[in-house]
Amino acid sequence: MRPLAAESGTHRPALPRVLVQARLWLWSNLFGSVGNTVLTLAAVAALAAIVPPVFTWTLSNAVWGAQPAAACAGIDGACWAFLHEKHRLILFGRYPFDEQWRPLAATALLIALLAASAIPQLWRRWLSAAWISGLLAGGALMWGGVFGLAAVPTKLWGGLPLTLMLSVVGIALAFPFALVLALGRRSTLPMFRAAAVAYIELIRGVPLISLLFMASFMLPLFLPGGVTVNELLRAQVAIALFTAAYLAEVIRGGLQGVPRGQYEAAQALGLGYWRAMAFVVLPQALRLVIPAMVNTFIGTFKDTSLVAIVSLTDLLLATRQAIADPLWRPYFLEGYVVIALIYFGFCFSMSRYSVFLERKLRTR
């Protein structure tokens, strides 16, 4: 086996250029050495073993559309009829069935805002105005009680909108708090430093589940009688406080990566502490830790599934409730596969976006 060179056409019928290139590519990428050939063949064998059954299960043997559960009995394929039956429950939880266009619209609005904020050309002042009005509109849609919309208490909220809200609002609240904690931990004033260290170590040293438990079951014990805090709000705050502790450490890492001379130059220009931080140090520090921050965000997004422990019907718990129906119980795999794809879709988008952002902000 020898790679075809251009002159090979002299003693063989000339191959079309595309084929020559294809053979060169195969040679250099797949069959260049004995080791590579073995690996290539092993990979082909593995794919041959995995792909056809997956294909048969998901597509050719699957049961589609509006079918009763009985139609899926005994088949050797996916029962997508389960999703046809239960997708509203999975996506929106126990939100009143006839009103489910409202969480759908609110989710679409939130995703649209996130997508718009991801485009650097749109980083203008009106974007914050769009966020404020978007959040108000989303809140009005979810809560109701205005514009002739029926009021829907938060304990009926659930599914994807709940998961998205807990993570987006959690991250948005955590971020400014994390900045304060990170700066506090590097402060020269012992009191601020001690407070920041104590907070970060305390919160990081405790599992999120226990924070959620405390927020749900212990907090009411300390509040005066008659005062109640909405359970969704309690979970939301617990998530934000938890995320802030992790994010603070990530940001502190970034602060340590900015040379001391940067701060000194800002000081020498008379910028003072806050402006030096805001314009000189933090922009560089945050840029350094984009991958680690996105890592934290992805963690927070997935951790929201823990709110099931305090009876909030997030995407995962809603799916489990759908599976709990005795008629459809055998088809749990279909449910989990689909929400896994939903989680993956969001996490993978965040991950790709972080790569894009890093490249975009890299200083020349």
Q: 3-state class of 258 per DSSP? A: coil
> How near is the Cβ of 264 to another protein at its closest, in Å?
5
| Closer of 210 and 267 to another protein (Cβ) | 267
| Closer of 153 and 259 to another protein (Cβ) | 259
> How near is the Cβ of 196 to another protein at its closest, in Å?
21
Torsion angles phi and psi, residue 313, rounded to 5: -85, 75
- Spatial neighbors of 195 by CB under 8 A, at least 6 apart, are 184
Q: 3-state class of 352 per DSSP? A: helix
> How near is the Cβ of 285 to another protein at its closest, in Å?
10
> How near is the Cβ of 180 to another protein at its closest, in Å?
20
| Closer of 168 and 285 to another protein (Cβ) | 285
| Closer of 163 and 354 to another protein (Cβ) | 354
Distance CA 40, CA 37 (A): 5
99 residue type, one letter:
E
> How near is the Cβ of 179 to another protein at its closest, in Å?
17
Distance CA 50, CA 38 (A): 18
> How near is the Cβ of 274 to another protein at its closest, in Å?
10
Torsion angles phi and psi, residue 68, rounded to 5: -70, 160
Q: Give me 253's structure tokens.
A: 């890492």
- Spatial neighbors of 350 by CB under 8 A, at least 6 apart, are 294, 297, 298, 301
| Closer of 17 and 260 to another protein (Cβ) | 260
> How near is the Cβ of 121 to another protein at its closest, in Å?
18
| Binding positions for another protein, rule: CB under 8 A | 259, 261-262, 264-272, 275, 279-280, 283-284, 287, 361, 363-364
Q: Give me 153's structure tokens.
A: 């208490």
| Length of the chain measured in residues | 364
Contact 314, 307 (CB under 8 A): yes
Contact 116, 95 (CB under 8 A): no
Q: Which of these, 173, 160, 187, lies nearest to 316 by C-alpha position?
A: 160
CA triple 180-347-364, angle to 5 deg: 65
> How near is the Cβ of 150 to another protein at its closest, in Å?
50
Q: Which of these, 93, 89, 56, lies nearest to 75 by C-alpha position?
A: 56
